[in-house]
Structure 1
Amino acid sequence: MTQQDLTDYASDGGDSSTARYVPDTCIGFDVTADFAHFRKVGNNSAKPSYRVPPRTTVAGLLAGIMGMPRDSYYDLFSPSSSAVAVVPKELPHTYTMGITTVNTKADDAIQYLPQERSWHHGAEMLTPESYVKYDRQRDTYEMLVDPVYRVYAALADEDVHDELRERLEDSRYHYSPALGLSECIADIRNVDTHTVESATTDAVDSAAYDDSAVVPRPGITVNRERAPLYMEATDGGRRTTAFGNITYATGDDRLPVDASRTHAVGDHEVVLY
């Protein structure tokens, strides 16, 4: 099913000696939702969103579908063992929404009555203080409206790859897929398996996740948004190992790129990461 491209992969801040993984086949599917939000790094109170889901978000979406624990799947989605491309089929417009949030970390914010004091034997009941102890916070979110993406993904681990394909085809998700926020429940359709072939085009339909493949061209407007690219697990959780620039063309233009990095997959020409 797979092959290894030994061309060095140079990402912004990454390890230039890491080989890119290029599969023979990949899974393709459309994902959409009424709203989406991919919070940009470095912002707290006001929460702007990326227009295209970061690669780390796509990895989290697929890992959640397979029921993988948090921070357990970073090696599986490393650049040497996975390939991802995202085609924004319709770049969404945005809507600013105020959302009231509350801390839901169980150890800090939620308190329970002892079971012997519960009105129902054995049930855990929230104490009244749990509802008022921690202040609510109203944050401003930039929401994407009616986003539609075509995702192409492949994993070097054939067993996991096959399980992912079967789960997508059968709509058998361990965790409900969402586009960013858990409230943004996603709809996945048009699941298929595609052959990955080398292409020679100088423009692609997909976004790029770093600048190394992008070749600016007069008359084509390109947007860049800095985002995490790869992560690794640590004793305290996780850390970003490489950042990149999510780069995409606006309007009806395609993203101009180095032709040597392009592949034909399904109905699209893409750059794989």
Structure 2
Amino acid sequence: MSPQIDADGIPDRCLSFTVSSTWGHFKRVGRTVTKQTYRIPPRTTVAGMLAAIVGAERNSYYETFGEDNAAIAITPESDLRTINIPTTGLGTDPDQDVTTTAKKRRNYSLTYQETTGDRQLHAYEVLADPSYRIDVALEDEEFYQKLHDHLEAGTSVYPPSLGKSEYLATIENVQAGQEPEPASSSGPYDIDSIVPIELADAIPQGGVAYESERSPAVMERHQGGRRTTRFDDYVFTRRSDGTVKTDAGTDVKPVSVGNRIVVFR
């Protein structure tokens, strides 16, 4: 049976795994010239990666990862380092058609865009050796069981990646049936995962630098495509051994998964 998620967004059990790659890039919304990256994969990106593993069709899985029937926690397991990589690319020509002309005996003649023009230089900001621990619970029983079986077997329909398709990812340390338990203390909490709070709600710590991001969290079908219906603000630390300290007075519900304190969203 699939996990059940209570009114606070806490599941009775979850799947846990580590995903890592040599490089990662999660394009920031609204950036055009410099290809900047989120430090943490957006919740929608994690949903897309899991959909690729089970082979879900495009635009078919948004309800599976809705606000009330999915819970995801993301914990950085590596220091979040970025570097800039200059990349040359060819601009698209709006007057150029890419056509396919069918001929007899299944032979095809392809016409491509002219590629002898000048290239454009763009700087891609990429994550170096990123690694994240993902805890996920889904009330969609069929999707959850497929995901469980693929993770346990180490298989996937489409290869998972961290952002760009060429940044192929490795999935390791899979644990099924993890049972989140309420954090034992009454606060303040030292939370290992990213925390969906405002920066002002994090308690300062000596030697620990906080950062915050705002990224897409939930999507829905819209006019044959998709649109984002919720953005999340969250706080994290760049160091893998850092934690976010927050008081019990915030709306977050920390839980213990294994030896980590995480917050689902």
Say yes or no: TM over 0.5. yes
Mapped contact 2:80–2:238 kept (Cα < 8 A): no
**Deviation readout 1:34-60 (Å, 9 max, x if unpaired):** 100011111012111111111111111
Give ranges in structure 1 of 5+ residues lacking alignment: 8-19
Letter in 2 for 1:272: F
Structure 1 residues 96, 265: closer, same or farther in 2, change over 3 A? Answer: same
Q: Give CA-to-partner distance per residue, 1:187-223, whole Å, 9 cap, x none.
A: 1111111111111351111012443995333534210
SS in 2 for 1:59: helix
Correspondent of 1:206 among 193, 198, 205 = 193
CA separation of 1:157 and 1:134: change in aligned 2, threshold 3 A: farther
Map of 1:253 onto structure 2: 242
Deviation at 1:32, TM superposition (A): 0.6
- 2-structure distance, mates of 1:212, 1:24: 29
Aligned-partner SS, 1:3: coil
Say which of 220, 242, 263 aligns to 2:230.
242
Residues 213 and 261, structure 1, Cα contact 8 Å, conserved in 2: no
Q: Determine the structure 2 residue equivalent to 1:165.
A: 148
Letter of the 1:207 partner, please give it: I
Give 3-state SS (helix, strand or coil) of 1:65's partner.
helix
TM-score, normalised relative to structure 2: 0.86
Task: Please name the residue that 2:74 is paired with.
Answer: 86
Q: Quick one: structure 1 residues 178 and 4, their matched pair in 2 at CA, closer, same or farther if it must change by over 3 Å?
A: closer
Gaps of 5+ in 2: none
* Secondary structure at the counterpart of residue 61 of structure 2: coil
| Cα distance between partner residues in 1 of 2:6 and 2:123 | 43
Question: How many residues end up aligned between the 2 structures?
Answer: 254
Aligned twin of 2:11: 23
Q: Distance in 1 between matches of 2:52 and 2:97?
A: 25
Q: Deviations over 1:136-181 (max 9, x none)?
A: 5442210111111111111012222111011112122111100001
Greater shift, 218-227 or 156-165, is seen at: 218-227
Code of the residue aligned with 1:115 in structure 2: it is K
Aligned letter for 2:53? I
After superposition, the Cα gap between the structure-2 partners of 1:212 and 1:241, relative to the gap in structure 1 and judged at 3 Å, is farther
TM-superposed CA distance for 1:241, in Å, is: 1.0
Aligned partner of 2:61 among 44, 61, 73: 73
Distance change (3 Å), C-alpha of 1:136 and 1:236: farther
**1:221 aligned to 2:209?**
yes
Please, which of 49, 53, 62 is the counterpart of residue 41 of structure 2?
53
Greater shift in the superposed pair: 199-208 or 185-194: 199-208
Residue matched to 1:5: 6
Compared with structure 1, are the counterparts of its residues 110 and 134 closer, same or farther at alpha carbon in structure 2 (3 Å cutoff)?
farther
Equivalent residue number for residue 179 of structure 2: 195
**Which of 144, 165, 171 pairs up with 2:127?**
144
Residue 43 (str. 1) matches residue 31 (str. 2): yes
Q: CA deviation at 1:133?
A: 8.6
TM-score (norm 1): 0.83
